[in-house]
Amino acid sequence: MGSDEKDIGISSGVDTGLTVDTIKHVDPTLEKHAHDADEAMKVFGDLHGETIEIDEATNRRLLKIIDWHMMPIMCFVYGMNYLDKTTLSYASVMGLKTDLSLEGDQYQWLGSLFYFGYLAWEYPTNRLLQRLPLGKYSAACILIWGLILSCFAAVHNYSGAVAIRFMLGVFEAAVTPGFALLTSQWYTKQEQGTRVNIWFSFNGVGQIFGGLVAYGIAVGAEKHGSSIDPWKIIFLVTGLLTICLGLIFLWVVPDNQLNARWLNEEDRVLAVARVRVNQQGIGNKNFKMYQVKEALLDPMTWAFFFYALIADIPNGGITNFFNQLIKSFGYNDKESLILGTPGGAVEIVALLLNGYVGHITGQRILASLGGLVASILGMLLIVALPLSNNIGRLIGYYLTQASPTPFVALLSLISSNVAGYTKKTTVAALYLIGYCVGNIIGPQTFRPEDAPRYVSAEVTIIVCWGVSLILLVGVWMWYRRENKKKALFIARPEYVRLENQEWLDLTDRENPEFMYSL
């Protein structure tokens, strides 16, 4: 490490950060890091400190244009992202188990195998999201996963289903981290929480849509017959719809503001300038090993990881077994398909309410706790009420569908609170690796011998959500303390900011002006 790096404290490592010594080395810093600065430096590098001012009317106009182009396709694709995973649950009560001759815990493993594929490809896909054009790579993954899902209709045995589920996980691994990057790229920190909640809430739309489609197919096939098995039809419908959405995504979603076909030249620059306040740029294709090291040594990275792991054990179980869980309340196969749909409505309301409350209070983490508390209450109802109380236990299941609120809050914090593009993709990958591991474990808690009560799985879910509550409070306390430390540092009279500091691809710990959202 050279003397300049020691003084500047940007390239060398985890704990250096920007120090008071930075004041003496503004020009060397810019020269040293201009070659690997953010994509936005292409626009602002020649302004020599001149800033672009955006009035409120222009900002609202740009936001409206961005919302109308980005949000609808992101929402619909994310709804399909959920539906494609849960199609297996609908198919399980439509004849799939019998036709594939599934025995013992083979269905549980089909539920988990999706996440083995997701887990295996999560870090590589995050590197590709950084290295390749963001919009085009995301669109390619959507198209391929739709094709793979359609192929499930041709499966005749367990081994074929294993291959399809694994590959489905591989290509869906890009969606959540890709959407988190798109949100941080196009929206300010203040706007990110509500947008993540909006597109994630389409999980609930996917659940409603999937339940209605599955019910319609089941009833139609029973009344009029069908040339192919009903469970195969639902895979074809969801797969082909995903392919159509992938084509729309490819046309609409750009790689960044600078190549958006639906913005003119001036608005492209303004769209970049409006997110300057984020202090994290719009993208950087250079891999920086020191940012990986910083991510691995940041306590919040591991808090995020363990939250995702622990909280998604319940998610993995409920996602793959909710139809069978509803059947255990005393309902038949077709009733379980239609009765699952209100759970999607609960998720939509919970996420939109969570986004709104978090936005107006500035407290995303604390606002998200309400959904987790409601979920714990719901699972307590399922465990405590007798089998004869069908309605009470069904209401308990509906309450559990509010559980994603903290997961979404932390996902939005990866957009808002992690700076440095390599660090952001690393943290996102680890967060979703935890998500995968939790979802792999989850289906295994629902053992066939425990049917119809599944008490051991239900108790496991309550314990996991209780631990998750504690982790969330810890994350809130940590960020609150770090913001106070940063405020004290930049208040020092000798502190001077770097020119174009927000475009230097600094990490959140390197940049003292980077404040964490709560």
Q: pTM of the entire structure?
A: 0.82
The answer to whether residues 98 and 153 belong to one domain is: yes
Q: CA gyration radius for the chain?
A: 24
For residue 509, tell me if it sits in a domain: no
Q: Mean per-residue pLDDT for 99-114?
A: 84
Mind spelling out the 3-state secondary structure of 313-328?
HHHHHHHHHHHHHHHH
- Confidence band for 199, pLDDT divided at 50, 70 and 90: very high
Range scoring the smallest mean pLDDT among 4-8, 179-183, 473-477: 4-8
The answer to whether residues 98 and 9 belong to one domain is: no
Q: What is the mean pLDDT of the chain?
A: 84
The answer to whether residues 244 and 129 belong to one domain is: yes
In terms of Cα–Cα distance, which of 452, 456, 459 is closest to 327? 452
What is the span of the domain harbouring residue 173? 56-490
The answer to whether residues 74 and 13 belong to one domain is: no
Is the separation of the CB atoms in 59 and 275 below 8 Å? no
Does the CA dihedral 421-427-432-433 come out positive or negative? positive
Better-scored residue on pLDDT, 319 or 383: 383
In terms of Cα–Cα distance, which of 322, 96, 317 is closest to 207? 322
Better-scored residue on pLDDT, 238 or 327: 238
For position 7, what pLDDT does the model report?
Answer: 33
The answer to whether residues 307 and 172 belong to one domain is: yes
Is the separation of the CB atoms in 420 and 510 below 8 Å? yes
The answer to whether residues 76 and 172 belong to one domain is: yes
- Confidence band for 443, pLDDT divided at 50, 70 and 90: confident
To which residue do tokens 């993540």 refer?
196
Name the helix (H) or strand (E) containing 125: helix 106-131
Q: Mean per-residue pLDDT for 448-473?
A: 87
The answer to whether residues 414 and 486 belong to one domain is: yes
In angstroms, the Cα distances linking 253 to 147, 256, 274 are 20, 8, 18
Q: Mean per-residue pLDDT for 304-316?
A: 93
The answer to whether residues 16 and 140 belong to one domain is: no
For residue 374, tell me if it sits in a domain: yes
For residue 512, tell me if it sits in a domain: no
Q: In terms of residues, how long is the chain? A: 518
The answer to whether residues 17 and 97 belong to one domain is: no
The answer to whether residues 5 and 144 belong to one domain is: no
For residue 438, tell me if it sits in a domain: yes
Distance from C-alpha of 364 to C-alpha of 297, rounded to nearest angstrom: 24
In terms of Cα–Cα distance, which of 207, 128, 136, 235 is closest to 173? 128
Work out the number of other CB atoms within 10 angstroms of the CB of residue 277: 11
For residue 399, tell me if it sits in a domain: yes
For residue 202, tell me if it sits in a domain: yes
The answer to whether residues 81 and 187 belong to one domain is: yes
Q: Mean per-residue pLDDT for 403-432?
A: 92
Longest dimension (CA), the chain: 80
For residue 333, tell me if it sits in a domain: yes
DSSP letter assigned to residue 24: G
Beta carbons within 8 Å of 345's beta carbon, 6+ residues apart: 204, 208
Q: Mean per-residue pLDDT for 129-144?
A: 94
Structure token pair of residue 228: 């192919």
Query: On the CB side of 9, how many CA atoms lie within 13 Å of its CA?
Result: 17
Task: Output the CA angle 460-399-93, nearest 5 degrees.
Answer: 75
Distance from C-alpha of 87 to C-alpha of 196, rounded to nearest angstrom: 23
For residue 95, tell me if it sits in a domain: yes
Question: What CATH number should be reported for the domain holding residue 474?
Answer: 1.20.1250.20
Most confident option among 39-48, 218-227, 379-388:
379-388
Number of domains observed in the structure of the chain: 2
The answer to whether residues 95 and 31 belong to one domain is: no
